[in-house]
Amino acid sequence: GEDVEQSLFLSVREGDSSVINCTYTDSSSTYLYWYKQEPGAGLQLLTYIFSNMDMKQDQRLTVLLNKKDKHLSLRIADTQTGDSAIYFCAESIESNYQLIWGAGTKLIIKP
Amino acid sequence: EAEVAQSPRYKITEKSQAVAFWCDPISGHATLYWYRQILGQGPELLVQFQDESVVDDSQLPKDRFSAERLKGVDSTLKIQPAELGDSAMYLCASSWAGRADTQYFGPGTRLTVL
């Protein structure tokens, strides 16, 4: 079945770039998403990429998609303390508009 | 900016009691989702509505959980009776029918069952 995998933790220094990685299995995915969740809060849509694109940039965020390897990454430039959160990768299933979710990567910012 | 509304934000109840959660999606969004999220995990889909109809409730524990969206707008998720293992965050999301996989989430309801 479909599966999305992420590493559980990433620790970076304030001001450095963060790169959060995700692998997925469903080659028919139409969109791939990054959501951010702060403690005790709901999920905030950060960005998404259509499966026929290989890169998308939005201010400090850069999404890279390698469809051949089924690998998605989220780069956050100039990481700030406000970026501390859990980041979820999700792929869409075209047939029923449902999302398959990763377990989330907790981003830890060191001063 | 339009948002998905949920209430209550927090609920503490004793096991065997009934609880209900409410969700009001973004205006015009035909598709509504209820998720359960256990601490340290990704969201788990419980039920998906298209307008007032259930599209998928295969993961909803139907012996104790029920969901409705009578007029195709707001929705209620009920648990009766609540069990200790139901303690989790309950998230509601909505999306356009024509682009149904871009989901926007509400703030969630944190349920604690004692």
Per-residue pLDDT of chain A (111 residues; tens, 9 = 90+): 668 999 999 999 999 999 999 999 877 778 899 999 998 889 999 999 988 889 999 999 999 999 999 999 999 999 999 999 999 999 987 777 788 999 999 999 998
Structure token digits, residue A57: 């940039």
Q: From A6, which residue of chain B is nearest by alpha-carbon distance?
A: B42
Interface of A with B (CB under 8 A): 4, 30-31, 33, 35, 40-45, 48, 88, 90, 92-94, 96-99, 101-104
pLDDT of residue B113: 97
First to last CA, chain A: 41
- Return the residue matching tokens 């007032």: B52
Q: How far apart are CA B64 and CA B83, in angstroms?
A: 9
Touching A: B residues 71-90, CB under 8 Å = none
pLDDT digits (tens, 9 = 90+) for B87-110: 999 999 999 875 546 899 999 999
User: Which residue in B59, B56, B73 sits closest to B22, CA to CA?
Assistant: B73
CB spacing of A103 vs B42 below 8 angstroms: yes
For residue B105, give the amino acid letter. Answer: F
pLDDT digits (tens, 9 = 90+) for B11-52: 999 999 999 999 999 999 999 999 999 988 899 999 999 999
